[in-house]
Structure formats: structure tokens, C-alpha cells
Amino acid sequence: MCATLRSVGAMGLAAIAMAGLAPAAGAAGDGTIALELNRLEQRDDTCRLTLLFTNRLDSAVDTLEIETVLFDREKRVERFVVFKSRPLKPGKIRAQQFDLTGLRCDGVGSVLVNDVTACKAGDLDAAGCLARIAPSTRGDVPLVISADDSASADSGNPETE
């Protein structure tokens, strides 16, 4: 009986812990692909970037490749990077880490979603997926997709056209 109570307790704690990662009420199925810049972590000469992808579409996202531009703190282009998500079922949240060798995390000023280079999600093409990307960030480095996002960010992001 104690083992059963412990299992239920552990499952309950796991559910509570995951509640912070779950999409907000009403967000599931809202027709977006949420992209969160969750963390930047320095590891020797490599900046490890953690992204959370959340599929809020009614169909699976089989392929998603997002071209980004990393800007330094002086708003100069540091580099272009294409991030590839693994497949996402509807309602799925996936964390992925990407190692960027030769990059100092503390030098990253903002990250721009420049384009979607490939997307297979129901009947959506790359342009359709780009229109559904909903960017957010957990830290002090903004993830932006438009000039409106850029203007509302506190750290002065690069303007987009």
C-alpha cells in the first residue's frame, strides 16, 4: 500500500511540475506553432540554445526548419542558423538543444525568426508555417519574428522589413 501511495504521489508531483510547461488554457489547438527561446547556456566555447516547440495545430508537424539570425548586443548580425525540429504531434511540446560552437551566449542580443525554410504540417507550406509561428522568450534575449515584436522588446532588437 505504501508503494502505491508513493507512486500516486510521484505521479501527482510530476503532473504539478509539468503544469508549468503546459500551454495556457485555451491555447491548445489555437492554430499556432509556439517557439520559445527557453535558455542560453555557455559550455566552454559553445553556446547551448534550448528551444521549446509546441504544436497547437490540429495536424502533426512532420518537418519544421526555421532560419534564424543571431544578433550581437550592438545589433550586428552574428550568424545565420537553421534549427530543425523533430516531428510534433498535435498538442506536443518538445524541448531541443542546439550547440553553437564559437559563440559566447552573453554576446547574443536577440534572435530573429527570419524564415521557415521547410515545413510539412497538414496542408501548410513554409509560408503558412511562418505565419503561424508564435515566438516568446524566458530570458533576457528576445526571440522576435516581426518589427512589432522588435519594438515591444525591452532590449532594443533589430528592426525587420
* CATH number of the structural domain spanning residue 96: 2.60.40
Asked if residue 145 lies in contact with residue 133, where contact means CB atoms within 8 angstroms, the answer is yes
The pTM of the full predicted model, rounded to 2 decimals, is 0.76
pLDDT digits 0-9 by tens, 26-76: 455 899 999 999 999 999 999 999 999 999 999 999 999 999 999 999 999
| CA–CA distance, 74 with 158 (Å, rounded to integer) | 9
Question: Distances in Å between the alpha carbon of 66 and those of 20, 56, 70, 84, 117?
Answer: 25, 17, 13, 6, 6
Residue 70 domain-assigned? Answer: yes
Q: What is the model's pLDDT at position 153?
A: 54
User: Side by side, which strands form the sheet with 133-137?
Assistant: 93-101, 46-55, 33-43, 133-137
| CA–CA distance, 93 with 35 (Å, rounded to integer) | 10
Amino acid identity at 29: G
Residue 154 confidence (pLDDT) above 90: no
Asked if residue 157 lies in contact with residue 112, where contact means CB atoms within 8 angstroms, the answer is yes
Residue 160 domain-assigned? Answer: no
Residue 12 domain-assigned? Answer: no
Residue 22 domain-assigned? Answer: no
Residue 89 domain-assigned? Answer: yes
Residue 90 domain-assigned? Answer: yes
Q: What is the model's pLDDT at position 61?
A: 97
Amino acid identity at 141: V
Domain count, the chain: 1
Residue 7 domain-assigned? Answer: no
- The cell numbers describing 94, all together, are 518538445
Residue 5 domain-assigned? Answer: no
Q: Domain span at residue 46? A: 30-152
Asked if residue 138 lies in contact with residue 36, where contact means CB atoms within 8 angstroms, the answer is yes
Residue 102 backbone zone (phi > 0: left; psi -120 to 50: alpha; other: beta): left
Cell 490540429 -> residue: 58
